Amino acid sequence: MGGASSSQSRIVKAQGHLTPGHLAVTLGVLAALALAALVFAVATGSTEVSLQESLVALAGGGEALSRTLILELRLPRALAAFATGGLLAVAGALMQVLLRNPLADPYVLGLSGGAAVGALLAMLAGLGSALISGSAFAGALTATLLVFGLAHGTGSWTPSRLLLTGVVVASGWGAVITLILSLSPARQLPGMLYWLMGDLAHARAPGAALGLLALVCLLVVPLGRSLNVLARGGLQAAALGVAVRRLEWLIYLLASLVTAVAVTTAGSIGFVGLVVPHMLRLVLGNDQRLILPACALAGGTLLVLADTLARTIIAPEQLPVGVITALLGVPTFLYLLHRSR
């Protein structure tokens, strides 16, 4: 075993030196960017509130109106955007390691489909917003357990088998979503479509999502070394003494829980979970100990910026946040890809 773990650390070293100093500086810079994005989000809106007034309101002072705008409307929404973006990016990074597939994202195994079916059924039944969230969460967990059960039940298990199971189940969910949409009263369609596009206007108290984001970061960092090995292939990881099957299921369940909370908070926002991990890998290299916490910060920052623009660009009209995430993310990603050649 000793030999295995020393060769494991050799491999990790070969991927590039990650010193504590490097880690701290990178994460420090990303955290500063995240904070700047949050301040920008809180100070920007369809109503003019100066930066100074915003900060005064954040501290609990100032006029009642600006306090309401900042503390009741903008801050909870910005924090919800940050948590959602961070969770999706972390889940995407985990899924890409788990499935060894660069196209994997948090939704690839049908989790968002299950959540959407739950949410749309609740909307169809005319339930309140709290029950819609609850129903979405239940749908996400159902989807997770369904894929887990189907892929687990078979004797031989490989990531590609999990991927195929998940993708097929996801198409099944897609069909159910289309069925619900076509049977729903016309008046409910806009709300349903906005949910499917992802919309932070519905985001409720961000506390739980933020807490989970912090918890997941603490949880996955100790796993980073094993994830690094796993990313290079299951056989190699097993040879190096990693309990592959257990680690893979742990990643799967963790990523699913994280995605379920994100989707419950703001609907199925696309793009962040797929592209943010890739962007960071292009810039920072592929060391999971750095990539995972960096995903939490960068994913959150991207979604905060995108949501701020979505609610202000053509105010009072409100755009779906997914439009802006893609418009900001696609050129950035292509630039990084081009530069890395």
Partner 1 sequence: MFPRLPVMLGVLLAVLFGLVGRVLADEVCAIDDGGREVCLAAPAQRIASLSPGATELLFASGAGDRLVAVVDHSDFPPEAVKLPSVGSHDRLDLERLVTLQPDLVIAWVTGNPAEQVERLERLGVPVFRIEPRDFEGIATALERLARLAGSEAQGRQAAERFRQGLAELAARHADAPPVPVFYQVWDSPLMTVNDEHLIGKVVTLCGGVNVFGDLSRLVPRIGEEALLAADPEVLLAGGRGEENRSWLDYWRRYPDLTAVARDNLFFVPPSLLQRPTPRLLEGSRLLCEKLEVARGRR
**What x/- string results for residues 111 through 130 when contact with partner 1 is judged by CB under 8 A?**
-----------------xx-
72 binds partner 1 (CB under 8 A): yes
Name the minimum Å distance from CB 199 to partner 1: 8
Contact range with partner 1 by CB under 8 A, out of 33-41, 201-209, 227-235, 237-245: 201-209
Shortest distance, CB of residue 69 to partner 1, whole angstroms?
Answer: 6
In the complex, the smallest distance separating the C-beta of residue 73 from partner 1, rounded to whole angstroms, is 5
Contact 137, 118 (CB under 8 A): yes
Beta-carbon contacts of 256 under 8 Å, excluding residues fewer than 6 positions away, are: 91, 109, 111, 140, 141, 144
- Residue 197's identity, in one-letter code, is M
The answer to whether the beta carbons of residues 4 and 240 sit under 8 Å apart is: yes
Query: Does residue number 204 form part of the binding site for partner 1 (CB under 8 A)?
Result: yes
CB neighbour class for 160 (10 Å; exposed up to 12, middle 13-18, buried from 19): exposed
Interacting residue with partner 1 among 172, 174, 191, 241 (CB under 8 A): 191
Which residue stretch of 2-10, 31-39, 197-205, 278-286 sits at the interface with partner 1 (rule: CB under 8 A)?
197-205
Choose the binding region for partner 1 from 62-70, 95-103, 106-114, 329-337 (rule: CB under 8 A).
Answer: 62-70
Of 200 and 213, CB closest to partner 1: 200
Interface with partner 1 (CB under 8 A), residue from 5, 6, 47, 178 = 47
| 186 scored as a contact of partner 1 (CB under 8 A) | yes
Q: Which stretch binds partner 1 (CB under 8 A): 21-29, 44-52, 241-249, 289-297?
A: 44-52
One-letter amino acid at 35 equals: L
User: Closer to partner 1 at the Cβ: 14 or 186?
Assistant: 186
Which residue type is seen at 215? L
68 part of the interface to partner 1, by CB under 8 A: yes
Residue 67 binds partner 1 (CB under 8 A): no
Handedness of CA 20, 25, 29, 35 (dihedral sign): positive
Peptide bond connecting 316 to the previous residue in cis, omega within 30 degrees of 0: yes
Contact 232, 7 (CB under 8 A): no
CB nearer to partner 1: give 158 or 312.
Answer: 312
Among 228, 311, 325, 333, binds partner 1 (CB under 8 A): 311
Residue from 1, 2, 246, 317 touching partner 1 (CB under 8 A): that is: 317
Q: Which stretch binds partner 1 (CB under 8 A): 10-18, 68-76, 155-163, 210-218?
A: 68-76
Q: How many residues contact partner 1, by CB under 8 A? A: 28
Least Cβ distance, residue 34 to partner 1 (angstroms): 22
Identify which range of 72-80, 149-157, 266-274, 278-286 contacts partner 1 by CB under 8 A.
72-80
For position 267 contacting partner 1 by CB under 8 A, the verdict is no
Applying CB under 8 A, the residues found at the interface with partner 1 are 45-47, 65, 68-69, 72-74, 128-129, 182, 185-188, 190-191, 194, 199, 201-202, 204, 311, 315-318
